[in-house]
Structure 1
Amino acid sequence: MNNSSEGLVVLPKCHEPVDIVREEEGFVLLAKPAGLLSVPGRNRANYDCVLGRIQLEYPHASMVHRLDFDTSGIMVVARHKRAHAAISRQFEQRTTRKMYIAIVSGQLSAPHGEIAMAIAPDKERRPRYKVCEKNGKPSLTRYRVVSYDAATDTSRLVLMPVTGRSHQLRVHLSAIGHPILGCQFYAPEVIQNAAPRLLLHAQELEFASPDDGARVVGRSPCPF
């Protein structure tokens, strides 16, 4: 990565497409590739993003939620204001269901469990976040171990975040001693370099349709 004259990082160009998974009157389900912003970055050079690409085909589309730059997977974008309000309300009230896949370092001591640790911005190491029970916001992640690979000493997990804090899954897993492979923020260098990308993928997203209230389940196959 290069630094711009504004002192902000210029992100590498993402050449992978944003795939449309499902199109309805009020929303679009899409699959975001890793290495693409959800919305434009602070640096004007980082204009390429999910929202900008989608608005070429759906000019009134608006972003309901975000995935981190390094995370791939399923997202929903609203096509008009009424749909935006209806879906956003579900994220705020935590009635959506989100399921991620991650590969982490080490073997977890339990086959399933919860990580309840408050998260706050790390003001001295922006844009990182940290566990901070005093000033952080309550954060809850549920997990289930899918498999353990003894040869690489890594575990494949299903992650179900109840809250939606920035960097929540990465911070929580690092805090319990099992950082995600390829994580440039919260993993030791050897684990950062163990994968060509962050091995975190949003595989499923479930919510109520803003059109008729029916349950919608969007899926994006895990690429790793």
Structure 2
Amino acid sequence: MIFPFPVLLATSDVVFINKPAGLAVHPGPKTPRSLEDHLPSLALGGFVPVAAHRLDRDTSGCLAIARSRRGVKWLSAAFSERRAEKIYWAILSALPQENAGRVAAPLAKVSTAAAGWRMIVDGGGRAAATCWRVLDPALRLVEFRPETGRTHQIRVHAAHIGCPIAGDPVYGDAAKASGAPMRLHAQSLAITLPDGQRLAVSCDPPAGWPLLNAPETQ
């Protein structure tokens, strides 16, 4: 079996891939088919590779996968100790009033029988912070750098400042009616391993994004 998605970097312990939008990382009641179905094709021995973190089903881009038990340990430590640098690009439904800023708003999970679960800004939730800056006003293209790794963090923080991500079916009201795809992309990922080695990758947004002259990250 051949791994069907772009591999950005591969070592004997770690693999970085470009996950397509529309593919869940893990299986669930609504996503029986997931990235996990394809991970055995990245194996070098008896260890079955595992995703070291999660991207939402409709988020594309850089994802780290552990290829060995040592890789699991290394990546787990990097994410838990905040030695993973993540940059996301998003097209927003509206532009913030400022060119750059930082959102510090704790997040909590809520669930109802009618609407299912979602994340909300809640003073009693877990601390969460995200930095952002406008890359291209004409395209409403904004860069996000999460300082923490909470579920749906960027999506909720974008909506919290009044600028939900275009196509977001949960946190953007207009998207529910339009049916347009969500425009959130994990553009780059850099991880510092325990031995000091730094692994860094980046990838372009998927086809269909209006990015004729994508800006360089800084």
Please classify the TM superposition score into its range, dividing by the shorter chain length.
0.7 to 0.9
Q: Given the alignment, which residue of 189, 195, 215 partners 1:205?
A: 189
Q: How much does 1:176 deviate?
A: 1.0
Equivalence map 1:20-169=2 (5 Å): 20-41=7-28, 43=29, 46-58=31-43, 60-124=48-112, 125-134=115-124, 136-149=125-138, 155-169=140-154
Question: Any conservation in 2 of the 1:108–1:155 contact (CA below 8 Å)?
Answer: no
Q: Which TM-score applies when normalising by structure 2?
A: 0.85
1:216 aligns with 2:203: no
Residues 101, 200 of structure 1: 8 Å contact kept: yes
Specify the SS of the correspondent of 1:121.
strand
Structure 2 CA distance for partners of 1:80 and 1:95, relative to 1, 3 Å: same
Identity of aligned residues (%): 31
Say if 1:182 and 1:193, in contact at 8 Å, map to a contact too. Answer: no
Q: 2: distance between equivalents of 1:76 and 1:169?
A: 18
Q: TM-score when scaled to structure 1?
A: 0.83
Q: Which runs of 5+ in 2 are unaligned?
A: 210-218
Counterpart residue identity of residue 199, structure 2: V
Say whether the 8 Å CA contact 2:51–2:63 is kept in structure 1.
no
User: Structure 1 residues 63-72 or 214-223, which shifts more?
Assistant: 214-223
State the SS of the aligned residue for 1:105. coil
* Structure 1 unaligned regions, length at least 5: 1-16
Deviations 1:153-199 (A, max 9, x none): x62100000101001011111111100000000111x3445573110
Report the alpha carbon displacement of residue 51 of structure 1 after superposing the two structures with TM.
2.3
Q: How many matched pairs?
A: 199
After the TM superposition, list the runs of 4 or more consecutive aligned residues in structure 1 that deviate by more than 4 angstroms.
192-195
